């Protein structure tokens, strides 16, 4: 089968990639575009370490053919990290010791970011439900749930300050 050109928005800029049919978004991000925060974990959709946002919704990039994101907006961990520091979710993960080996962290941060974009004041159950597709073998999840709560509070406080 012939290769095709796929165009999509990545981190606020339009990118064009030439791909063979059924090439995953994960492979394109890591191997063609150098966005290596999107981890190459299980390659079966079971660990969540490859989670990215597509039009603001969490998706497993290891299962997603890049052709399916044509014309859409893709956000990776690199895309949400501001030049001057850390995104509030990243800062909360660091402050709450919600990372150890760090392998699951990009996926956890992306899912948490999507959750807080849609639901600024989630309950513990909301957070646990949002994280169900992401596996962490190090932290025991409690620090991650705490980090998401803390990030939500910080983001609400920051929004209140900006509204003044």
Q: Which CATH number is 131's domain given?
A: 1.10.150.120
| Pair (32, 72) in one structural domain | yes
| Pair (153, 135) in one structural domain | yes
CA distance 20 to 4: 6
pLDDT of residue 139: 85
Closest CA to 130 of 154, 110, 159, 158: 110
pLDDT of residue 163: 67
Domain boundary among 24, 49, 78: 78
Instruction: Give me the number of domains the chain comprises.
Output: 2
Does residue 24 fall inside a structural domain?
Answer: yes
Does residue 70 fall inside a structural domain?
Answer: yes
pLDDT of residue 43: 86
Q: Which CATH number is 11's domain given?
A: 3.10.20.30
Question: What domain range is 42 assigned to?
Answer: 4-78
| Pair (98, 119) in one structural domain | yes
| Pair (62, 44) in one structural domain | yes
pLDDT in tens, the chain (164 residues): 799 999 999 999 999 999 999 999 999 999 999 999 999 888 888 899 999 999 999 999 999 999 999 999 999 999 999 989 999 999 999 999 999 898 999 999 999 999 999 999 999 999 999 999 999 988 889 999 999 999 999 999 987 777 66
| Pair (99, 68) in one structural domain | no
Does residue 83 fall inside a structural domain?
Answer: no
Crossing angle of helices 142-163 and 88-95, rounded to 10° = 140
Q: Return the C-alpha torsion angle 10, 16, 17, 19, nearest 10.
A: 110
- Structure pTM? 0.93
pLDDT of residue 51: 97
Domain boundary among 52, 78, 104: 78
| Pair (57, 99) in one structural domain | no
Does residue 18 fall inside a structural domain?
Answer: yes
Domain boundary among 27, 60, 78: 78
Give strand pairing partners of 14. Answer: 9
Tokens of 160: 């209140």
């Amino acid at each position: 089968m012939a290769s095709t050109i796929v165009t999509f928005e990545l981190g606020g800029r339009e990118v064009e990639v030439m791909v063979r049919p059924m090439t995953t978004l994960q492979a394109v991000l890591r191997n063609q575009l150098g966005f290596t925060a999107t981890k190459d974990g299980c390659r079966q959709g079971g660990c969540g370490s490859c989670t990215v946002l597509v039009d603001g919704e969490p998706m497993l990039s290891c299962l997603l053919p890049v052709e399916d994101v044509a014309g859409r907006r893709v956000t990776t961990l690199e895309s949400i990290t501001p030049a001057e520091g850390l995104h509030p979710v990243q800062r909360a993960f660091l402050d709450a010791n919600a990372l150890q080996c760090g392998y699951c962290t990009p996926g956890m941060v992306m899912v948490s970011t999507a959750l807080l974009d849609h639901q600024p004041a989630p309950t513990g159950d909301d957070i646990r439900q949002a994280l169900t597709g992401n596996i962490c073998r190090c932290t025991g999840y409690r620090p991650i749930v705490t980090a998401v709560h803390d990030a939500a509070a910080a983001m609400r406080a920051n929004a209140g300050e900006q509204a003044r």
